[in-house]
Amino acid sequence: MVVKPKRNLQFSDLSNPWQRFRSQTGVSQTELALELGLGQSAISGYESGDIPAPKVAVNFVKLAKRHKVRMSLDEVYACLG
């Protein structure tokens, strides 16, 4: 995966962990999907409020940590409420 420069966070990025991760890392939806073994439409759905399966959420948190992005399962599911 190509690492892109990080961009400044926007307020809206902070409300959704999927968007926040991509904002902090410069990773596209397609790149994130490939790393998680998903389709791009799944990532788009999670950014729009779809609920990820627990296994997907755990893998996402692990991936975020590898990218040095602080993330927890609580954060992944908190944006849904």
Go through the domains of the chain in sequence order and give each one's CATH number.
13-78 (1.10.260.40)
Helix, strand, coil proportions of the chain in percent (round to 5)? Answer: 60, 0, 40
pTM for the predicted model, two decimal places: 0.80
pLDDT single digits (tens) 23-72? 999 999 999 999 999 999 999 999 998 999 999 999 999 999 999 999 99
Handedness of CA 38, 44, 46, 47 (dihedral sign): positive
Instruction: Identify the sign of the CA torsion 33, 35, 36, 38.
Output: positive
Question: Residue 9 and residue 31: Cα distance in Å, rounded?
Answer: 19
Using the predicted structure, report yes or no on whether residue 9 has a pLDDT greater than 50. Answer: no
